[in-house]
């Protein structure tokens, strides 16, 4: 079975879960809205803490420098952590809802959010770890030039693979962050390390689904000088289309992640073809 065929089968099965529980699509939307509110809450005040210094050279030219203060860095770090927490919390709710469906239950927004809230302490811990690692990787990429970007990219890729099952383990089993990291790492190393990301997965389908919206947006930009109204309308529809694809793919990814976790721990995964999941967990050769 080809990479795209496997991705398409998994996407269709995941979509079947979302069709049964469409309210789960609300979670990525709420996550995006709350993240935007948090960004405004922290970044706007942070801007006013920056120390602006102006100097005039011998020729009368004025140079302005923006120097972040200690408070700027504090607000930035808080923003980074709170943003990570919100994204992870709503992802946890999505995983919880999908897991409830796989258990034969009928999840609601309340039940999904309630399950995530019951693991709030562990989610806070995982958010701290995840945000810290992300900040370190970003610093490597920003300060290391081309080599730093390459090294940071490799580290980020490896981190995303190693931690793929951490959140489902925290949400479903309530295990500690350290235990979840160890078990996720062992599962990746011993069975399917090359396939979670390497096979393209659901992300490949997301790229294909976004192409029409992207082409529409480009066409709208090209038509803007000829017909501004039509161009703006086309760009607006394209933006809405891209947002819709992003929301759906985020939800699908959460369901897919939950399915792979359940398969890894020998729990039943209704609606999924066992051969397809077995291929995702195929041992390295």
What mean pLDDT comes out for the span 204-232?
A: 87
Close Cβ partners of 127 (under 8 Å, ≥ 6 residues apart): 81, 84, 85, 88, 89
Q: Reply yes or no on whether the pLDDT at 179 is more than 90.
A: yes
Mean per-residue pLDDT over the chain, rounded: 85
Q: Reply yes or no on whether the pLDDT at 39 is more than 70.
A: yes
Helices (H), strands (E): how many in the chain?
Answer: 12, 2
Dist. CA 257–CA 264, nearest whole Å:
11
Q: Report residue 194's pLDDT band, with 50, 70 and 90 as the boundaries.
A: very low
Dist. CA 73–CA 75, nearest whole Å:
5
DSSP β-ladder status, 51-56 and 62-67? antiparallel
Residue extents of the structural domains in the chain: 3-280
What mean pLDDT comes out for the span 219-232?
A: 87
Dist. CA 156–CA 108, nearest whole Å:
33
What mean pLDDT comes out for the span 205-209?
A: 83
Dist. CA 129–CA 146, nearest whole Å:
26
What mean pLDDT comes out for the span 181-209?
A: 70
pLDDT for residue 237: 92
Comparing CA positions, the residue from 244, 252, 259 lying closest to residue 32 is 244
Q: Reply yes or no on whether the pLDDT at 1 is more than 60.
A: no
Residues of the chain with pLDDT > 90, as a percent, come to 34
Degrees, nearest 5: CA angle 252-39-27: 25
Q: Report residue 171's pLDDT band, with 50, 70 and 90 as the boundaries.
A: very high
Global pTM value:
0.82
pLDDT for residue 198: 44
What mean pLDDT comes out for the span 71-97?
A: 93
CA 76 to each of CA 57, 83, 268: distance values in angstroms, whole numbers, following the listed order: 32, 10, 43
pLDDT for residue 144: 82
Per the CB < 8 A criterion, the answer to whether 72 and 50 are in contact is: yes
């Amino acid at each position: 079975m080809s990479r795209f065929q496997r991705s398409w089968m998994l996407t269709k099965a995941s979509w079947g879960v979302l069709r049964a529980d469409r309210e789960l699509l609300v979670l990525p939307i709420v996550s995006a809205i709350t993240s935007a509110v948090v960004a405004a809450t922290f970044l706007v005040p942070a801007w006013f803490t920056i120390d602006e210094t102006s100097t005039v050279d011998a020729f009368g030219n004025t140079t302005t420098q923006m120097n972040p203060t200690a408070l700027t860095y504090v607000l930035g770090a808080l923003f980074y952590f709170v943003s990570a927490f919100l994204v992870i919390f709503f992802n946890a709710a999505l995983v919880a809802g999908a897991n409830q469906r796989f258990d034969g239950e009928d999840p609601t927004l309340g039940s999904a959010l309630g399950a995530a809230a019951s693991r709030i302490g562990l989610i806070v811990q995982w958010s701290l770890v995840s945000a810290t690692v992300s900040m370190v990787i970003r610093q490597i990429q920003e300060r290391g030039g081309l080599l730093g970007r390459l090294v940071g990219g490799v580290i980020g890729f490896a981190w995303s693979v190693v931690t793929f099952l951490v959140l489902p383990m925290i949400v479903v089993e309530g295990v500690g962050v350290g235990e979840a990291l160890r078990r996720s790492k062992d599962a990746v190393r011993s069975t399917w390390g090359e396939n979670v990301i390497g096979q393209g997965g659901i992300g490949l389908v997301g790229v294909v689904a976004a192409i029409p919206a992207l082409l529409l947006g480009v066409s709208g930009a090209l038509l803007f000088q000829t017909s501004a109204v039509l161009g703006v309308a086309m760009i607006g529809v394209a933006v809405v289309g891209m947002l819709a694809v992003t929301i759906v793919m985020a939800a699908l990814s959460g369901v897919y992640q939950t399915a792979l976790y359940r398969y890894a721990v020998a729990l039943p995964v209704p609606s999924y073809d066992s051969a397809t999941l077995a291929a995702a967990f195929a041992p390295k050769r």
